[in-house]
Structure 1
Amino acid sequence: MTGALPSYALWLIAATTFLAYVLGSVPFGLLLTNLAGAGDLRQIGSGNIGATNVLRTGRKDLAAATLGLDAAKGLLAVVIAWVMTPPDFSAHAAAIAAFAAVVGHCYPVFLGFRGGKGVATGLGAMLALSPLTGLLGCAAWLGMARLSRISSVGALSAFVIMPLAALALHGFSFQHSPTPMAALLVSVLVIARHHENIARILSGKEPRIGDGKR
């Protein structure tokens, strides 16, 4: 992308950003647990609407479905931006959409802007923006979660690694590739949303995977 954007490009980017935010706002974890009769997810465990808290209901199937759907909305937001915008600025529209989808999950309009932490949605968005970066993030998440048995340790590891991976793969030039900047912004948001988890990790009080099932 070079030079000033034409007005139609700005409108398209605004439209895809809005769609990404709305898509990110869909609370699949809450919807699935309510439909399955597993209770109000906001009253269970940490009260979070993500897959880790869904697992605390004892329903692994619902947790897996939540994980997949939350990742899919991040991925789909990026794909929509790629498809809806011309090649000259599609990469930048997709990068903005990736961040907007994660913002939507963290601050969903449908739940009074009180949402999740953006892990699965962020990973899905990064898989679409830069598959290798996303795969490295997934590997770090799964590996560290398995090693530590603490989901948030895996998540934090993934979002520390992905901006570095994106930088190594794409360089740091917003004009050339907006992917590293998108990875950085998404990671900063996700890590900030984990501030309570970080405090519990440091104090040794963070729950381990499998704890807190009903």
Structure 2
Amino acid sequence: MGDGAVTLGAVAGFVLAYLLGSIDFAVLVARSRGEDIYHMGSGNPGAANVLRNLGWRAALPVMLGDMAKGAAAAALGAALGGSEAAGWAAGFAAVIGHCFPIWHRFRGGKGVATAFGAALWLQPLVGLALVAIWAGLLAATKVSSIGSLAAMAALLPILVAIDTPAAELVWAGAIVGLVVVRHAANIRGLLFGGVRTVRSDTRPP
């Protein structure tokens, strides 16, 4: 089977990955604490907003859960589709699900942790590099979006450098594109002011 071949298994993996990606751990963790993440801070149902408003003990399971669903989606897609390209496609589907979750009225986050999870499963060293870029810049700037955008900007060059097949690059590029589009407001904030740091609105853990 060609790495870029479209099969019934790959399509099934894509659909299942979307449904898996639609599970929003920020919503669930906040709800378990009697809070509505949509009405807190930036209103974004993601780990950074949870960190700012509910502390790191709430943010950590959100981050890990979002990464786990990205990894599980990629693993499922690769298994059903029979190729690494199908795994990347399923990773993209999981990011779509995170951004536009059917279980949460299509009001989702920005897909960064889910993308990290998919990359960690498909290319562990690449995934670790992305997480390191994000974590390093977050520590240095206290602005999660700077680390997120830098990590996404690094993904395709790293994959090209290790001779990743074109079919996989297409789906990885789709992940990057969607995550960047979801950061449009953050990019405007970085350019014109008004960006939130992880210390903004932060409650004690």
TM bucket, shorter chain: over 0.9
Q: 1:131-150 alignment to 2 at 5 Å?
A: 131-150=124-143
Give the counterpart letter for 1:134 in structure 2: G
For residue 14 of structure 1, what is the aligned residue in structure 2?
A: 11
Would the alpha carbon gap of residues 56 and 4 (structure 1) be closer, same or farther in structure 2, given more than 3 Å must change?
closer
SS in 1 for 2:162: helix
For residue 2 of structure 1, what is the aligned residue in structure 2?
A: 2
Q: 1:36-47 alignment to 2 at 5 Å?
A: 36-37=33-34, 39-47=35-43
Would the alpha carbon gap of residues 53 and 3 (structure 1) be closer, same or farther in structure 2, given more than 3 Å must change?
closer
- 1:58 to 2:54 alignment: yes
TM-score by length of 2: 0.93
CA shift for structure 1 position 204 = 2.5
Unaligned runs of 5+ in 2: none
Unaligned runs of 5+ in 1: none
Q: Hey, what's the Cα distance between the residues in 1 that align with 2:64 and 2:9?
A: 28
Query: Taking CA–CA contacts closer than 8 Å with sequence separation of 6 or more, which of the two structures ends up with the larger relative contact order?
Result: 2
Q: 1:85-104 alignment to 2 at 5 Å?
A: 85=81, 89-104=82-97
Cα RMSD, aligned residues only? 1.7
Would the alpha carbon gap of residues 207 and 83 (structure 1) be closer, same or farther in structure 2, given more than 3 Å must change?
same
Q: Hey, what's the Cα distance between the residues in 1 that align with 2:202 and 2:155?
A: 31
Count of residues in Structure 1 that have an aligned counterpart in Structure 2: 203
Contact 1:96 1:182 in 2 (8 A): yes
Summarize deviations over 1:125-152 as a string: whole Å, max 9, x none: 1111211221111111011111111110
- 1:212 to 2:201 alignment: yes
TM-score by length of 1: 0.89
**Identity, % of aligned positions:** 37
Q: Hey, what's the Cα distance between the residues in 2 that align with 1:101 and 1:185?
A: 12
Q: Hey, what's the Cα distance between the residues in 2 that align with 1:4 and 1:160?
A: 23
Larger radius of gyration: 1
Contact 2:70 2:115 in 1 (8 A): yes
Contact 2:18 2:93 in 1 (8 A): yes
Q: 1:1-214 alignment to 2 at 5 Å?
A: 1-2=1-2, 10-37=7-34, 39-85=35-81, 89-171=82-164, 173-174=166-167, 178=168, 180-214=169-203
Give the counterpart letter for 1:13 in structure 2: A
Q: Hey, what's the Cα distance between the residues in 2 that align with 1:173 and 1:205?
A: 38
Contact 1:44 1:56 in 2 (8 A): no
